[in-house]
Structure 1
Amino acid sequence: MAMDGPDRARELEIFAVIARMGSFSAAGRSLGLTPSAISRTIDRIESRLGVRLLIRTTRALTLTAEGQSYLGAARRILKDLDEAERVIADQGAPRGRLRVSASLSHGRLCVVPLLGDFARLYPHILVDISLTDTVVDVAAGQADVAIRFGPLADSALTARRIGETGRSIVASPDYLARRGTPRVPEDLLRHNCLNFNFRRAEPVWPFRRDGREYALTVTGTIEANNGETLGQLAVDGVGITRVGNFGVVDDIAAGRLVPLLEAFNPGDVEPIHAIFVGGANMPARVRVFIDYLADRLR
């Protein structure tokens, strides 16, 4: 009774179509087979099983009790085959939980506003986003995708550049009215300069004068671990800060902040990368999310 799987499945399909259509000729037209080919298939099945499945007359086609049982089994098996193929095909489709790590400022201002459209494009992906300035370990499985700023350390992870940002020195009109507007970088030495608290050799801001780049050490009364906090402090008139353009562009446009010392801006650009575990087995949900970010953030 052993037969190749594809032939057995084809026989089940033919029998199910015959039962649905009610005649050999109609089934043949539906399947692209001749009535004689349909008849030979039924004869082969009945011979193998040793029972009659169909009673054929010139006017009607009737299923025997065995035929009814065989039809039920055929429909279940064909449904299972369809489901198995769907499951296998879905393994490469974008679906499942996607864990994303982004910095507080860039995440809130630039990444989160994009998630609504992404969710509409990919409704089967559950985006699990965490905003933190703590560096998560993607290689250890703490996130599927992490958004990182600046130069990257050597790693077995894959990195894709998804954008970049320049930096500007800014202060509020209120602060400048009280403390005066710096005209050259050295004037900053008499101002309250709000800085990042990341580990670095010294709190320096870079400048360019007469084609030469140099750095100036600045001091202030407050340090923070994210640009959004520094930008808000500047808006509140606490001091002067130097942060990524993406975090202050709206405040500058609204007049809440004023760019300073633009003639001395060295034009340094900080790259933004998406970090992830790459390779041939990268989940589709990771690939489409990174493609989406790269397209929107550029």
Structure 2
Amino acid sequence: MARLEVNRSGEMEMFVRVVEQGGFSAAARAARMTPSAVSKLIARLEGRLGARLLNRSTRQLQLTPEGCAFYERATRILADLEDAERSAGVGEQAVGRVRINTSASYFNHVLAPVLPEFLALHPGVTLDIVQTDAVVDLLAERTDVAIRAGPLKSSSLIARKLGETALTIVAAPSYLERYGAPCRIADLDGHNRLGFGYARAVDGWPLRENGETTIVPVTGRVQASDGEGLRQLALSGVGLARLAAFTVRGDIAAGRLVPVLGDLDTGETEAFHAVYVGQGGPLPSRVRALLDFLAERGRVI
């Protein structure tokens, strides 16, 4: 009976608030409580769980490994509770904010064109979109769904595949007029090969010549932090770039970019996934609605 008297959801909510506000004082102000009351509540939670969740110092709080695990599960449970309450009032209608982390390339060429349709289908959903090619910590960035390209590392994240795309080396006609079109791997020595400013799964361009695959290093004079930046550099005639086919298909059709070294292509493709935190359990309806929509209308080819 005593177990039923414990307000476990309230303790979870306060713990999550302390973590996200960065301390007891800020969480206390947000909850209109005293810092000592918040501190006692967290201490009672730790005592009941038999585990230290936070390491306290005079300057900051730091999550313990047990605290990290509890925070991850608590945020999911609270989201499910919120979703259950909304569902009780508005049926299965998706309601609330969804924070999306995506590359500029995927946003510009795939997501943005279909967003009006999603927003019309789900008028109760608001979107917060962050564009970056960097791999972010979904929990730290409070991200619901991230779109990631390339091989996925083993993690607690759940992935939903959105298709895959070929990778194509392209250049602007103006660049090829000045420097000529490369036909062999050896020809690349005289070309500006534009690359990414961060580590990739394959550090170079794989090309197959005379039955052997060579990883050609990317040693150009300009690097960019995202694929859309490289595309703009290629369009400006700065150099050669190896980009996802779906991002340059329109440019090639319009003659703004020209594919090169297609005969040496290894056939490598890059997979795209929508990833989210979870262990396969129920998702908030707002997140589920976005994932279902992306699986149908946000596919990469």
TM range (shorter): 0.5 to 0.7
Q: Are residue 99 (structure 1) and residue 89 (structure 2) matched? A: no
- Cα distance in 2 between the residues matched to 1:254 and 1:221: 27
Q: Are residue 190 (structure 1) and residue 193 (structure 2) matched? A: no
CA contact (8 A) 1:96 1:124 kept: yes
SS in 2 for 1:193: coil
CA contact (8 A) 1:274 1:290 kept: yes
Unaligned runs of 5+ in 1: 1-84
SS in 1 for 2:99: strand
AA of the residue aligned to 1:104: A
Q: Cα offset for 1:201?
A: 9.0
Q: How many corresponding residue pairs?
A: 215
Q: How big is each residue's C-alpha offset from its partner over 1:203-233, in whole Å with a ceiling of 9 and x where there is no partner?
A: 5210123443221223211000111111111
- Aligned position for 1:132: 132
Q: How big is each residue's C-alpha offset from its partner over 1:231-269, in whole Å with a ceiling of 9 and x where there is no partner?
A: 111111111111111221111111011000101111111
Q: How big is each residue's C-alpha offset from its partner over 1:76-134, in whole Å with a ceiling of 9 and x where there is no partner?
A: xxxxxxxxx98615364311111111112211221122111000011111112111223
SS in 1 for 2:296: helix
CA contact (8 A) 2:150 2:201 kept: no
- Aligned position for 1:205: 205
CA contact (8 A) 1:189 1:219 kept: no
Q: Cα offset for 1:297?
A: 3.0
Would the alpha carbon gap of residues 295 and 252 (structure 1) be closer, same or farther in structure 2, given more than 3 Å must change?
Answer: same
- Cα distance in 2 between the residues matched to 1:201 and 1:280: 30
- Cα distance in 2 between the residues matched to 1:272 and 1:202: 16
- Aligned position for 1:249: 249
Q: How big is each residue's C-alpha offset from its partner over 1:46-77, in whole Å with a ceiling of 9 and x where there is no partner?
A: xxxxxxxxxxxxxxxxxxxxxxxxxxxxxxxx
CA contact (8 A) 1:193 1:218 kept: yes
- Cα distance in 2 between the residues matched to 1:267 and 1:163: 15
- Aligned position for 1:291: 292
- Aligned position for 2:157: 157
- Cα distance in 1 between the residues matched to 2:277 and 2:142: 11
- Cα distance in 2 between the residues matched to 1:247 and 1:87: 38
CA contact (8 A) 1:136 1:142 kept: no
- Aligned position for 1:271: 271
CA contact (8 A) 1:173 1:258 kept: yes
- Cα distance in 1 between the residues matched to 2:100 and 2:127: 7
Say which is worse superposed, 185-194 or 197-206, in terms of deviation.
197-206
- Cα distance in 1 between the residues matched to 2:235 and 2:286: 39
SS in 2 for 1:183: coil
- Cα distance in 1 between the residues matched to 2:216 and 2:231: 20
- Cα distance in 1 between the residues matched to 2:256 and 2:108: 19
AA of the residue aligned to 2:298: L
SS in 1 for 2:286: helix
AA of the residue aligned to 2:162: I
SS in 2 for 1:280: coil
Alignment of 1:10-49 (within 5 A): none
SS in 1 for 2:194: strand
Specify the structure having the higher radius of gyration (Cα).
1
CA contact (8 A) 1:99 1:129 kept: yes
Say which is worse superposed, 166-175 or 215-224, in terms of deviation.
215-224
- Cα distance in 1 between the residues matched to 2:208 and 2:134: 32
- Cα distance in 2 between the residues matched to 1:132 and 1:193: 22
CA contact (8 A) 1:188 1:218 kept: no
- Cα distance in 2 between the residues matched to 1:221 and 1:86: 53
- Aligned position for 1:177: 177
Would the alpha carbon gap of residues 86 and 142 (structure 1) be closer, same or farther in structure 2, given more than 3 Å must change?
Answer: closer
Identity score, percent: 46
RMSD between aligned residues: 2.2
Would the alpha carbon gap of residues 282 and 141 (structure 1) be closer, same or farther in structure 2, given more than 3 Å must change?
Answer: farther
